[in-house]
Amino acid sequence: MIKLLVIADDLTGACDTGVQFSRQNFPVLITSNRQIDCYTFSDIEVLVINIESRHLTADKASARVQKLVHSAVKSGIQYFFKKTDSTLRGNVGSELNALMQAAGCERLAFVPAYPQMKRFTRNGYQYIENKLLHETELRLDPLEPVTSSYVPEIIQKQTETAVHLVTRDVYRNKTSVHFKDGITVFDCESNEDLVDIKDTITTNNVFRLFAGPAAFAEKITSLIALNRKSEMPRPTIKLPLLFVNGSMNPKSLRQIQKARHAGIPEIIIPQAYFSGAASEHFPLDLLTKVEKQKSKHDGIIISTNSSESVIDRDHTTSKGDGLFQGVADKMGMLCTKLLDKNWFPGWVIFGGDTISGILAALSVDVLQPMNELMPGLPVLTIPDKRLILMSKAGGFGSEDLILEILDRVRKGL
């Protein structure tokens, strides 16, 4: 029986969170099917549902959360985790408020930090490394430029629910904390802080609703009576790898540029393909290019845009329909042709919209999280298909990430 429902606003976040449970041998599945019947999973302890709400309006995102949670409560699920982006993109306030209302709970514990990724919360302000959130390149986000770093302010742009801040000195005292009704935001700068927060929540025992990035999800397993399996299968990743980039994030583009300069071939999908102006022979031409390269390299990159430029936004959709959804869907259709060739045993997908487009084209709505190649890079399988997927958020990883992935796979890590 499902004991914990995790709600994510995009697929990379769902994957990153789901793998935190499979790593600890808790049975878990990931799906983008919001109509799924929770009663059908008698052998699953944790269900992660991607509701694809990151780029919806606040009202539409809230409605999706409410509908899902109402159904889950009727199925007997008592514990909920709302996965949020560690850079606080998306409809954070409206979705947390919707979760509280639909679950009938007056308190929610929110830890926005992801210390392993150098995302910290200090005195209520969100940092990436030592930069305030609104001072990073996220201020230039093409769809949702970040203008604030103060977590309570960001939340209360979309809800009137009370927000309370708990600083490190309070929960480190190991004494009982009186939690008020509303959303409680915890400062956090390290894994040790996460453990202290978990211990404080355990001592007070007043929360059934939790929210934050994957790092906090990993810690809440001790707060819920989940049953472990004695052993979970761990797939072996083999070369060559196919890297599929549909992200416009500057960090992803720099990672591709660094890999290309190291000799990894990049095959660029022209903008004409996404606008419908490309030759009808283009998919076949792409397959020919990939086939010529696959035996010469351990990895090949196919990208929706050159790492030296950005894609023309005239052929994309805007907030309310999903970020660059037309690009993601067409990329998905193209990737099905590559999958049919069975040339690559492992795929690394950049961007939540990209992996959603690929899975939609494959008519796949369930993923099995297995392990992590490294923090932030979950390893997943598709039931009934011999394919290993790794998903990566557009803004995740160092500039050497592609080279690091290939090196780890060569070494069998």
Asked if residue 410 lies in contact with residue 240, where contact means CB atoms within 8 angstroms, the answer is no
High-pLDDT (> 90) share of the chain, %: 65
**In terms of pTM, does the model score above 0.75?**
yes
Quote the pLDDT of residue 175: 67
Q: What is the pLDDT of residues 39-89, one digit of tens each?
A: 777 789 999 999 999 989 999 999 999 999 999 999 999 999 999 999 999
Q: How many Å apart are CA 95 and CA 82, to the nearest integer?
A: 8
- Answer whether 4-223 and 241-410 agree in fold: no
Torsion angle of the four alpha carbons 245, 270, 261, 258, in this order, in degrees rounded to the nearest 10: -30
Q: What is the pLDDT of residues 271-307, one digit of tens each?
A: 888 777 777 778 888 899 999 999 899 999 999 865 5
Structural domain boundaries in the chain: 4-223, 241-410
Q: How many Å apart are CA 392 and CA 409, to the nearest integer?
A: 16
Under CATH, to which class is 4-223 assigned? alpha beta
The whole-number average pLDDT for the span 254-283 is 87
Average of per-residue pLDDT values in the chain: 89
Quick check: 393 pLDDT over 80?
A: yes
Residue 174 pLDDT grade (very low, low, confident, very high; cuts 50, 70, 90):
low
Q: How many Å apart are CA 69 and CA 7, to the nearest integer?
A: 9
Quick check: 240 pLDDT over 50?
A: yes
Quick check: 160 pLDDT over 60?
A: yes
CATH tag, 241-410:
3.40.980.20
- Which residues touch 216 (CB under 8 Å, ≥6 apart)? 111, 113, 194, 197, 210
Other CB atoms within a 10 A radius of the CB of residue 33 amount to 10
- Paired residues of 166 in beta bridges: 186
- Which residues touch 363 (CB under 8 Å, ≥6 apart)? none
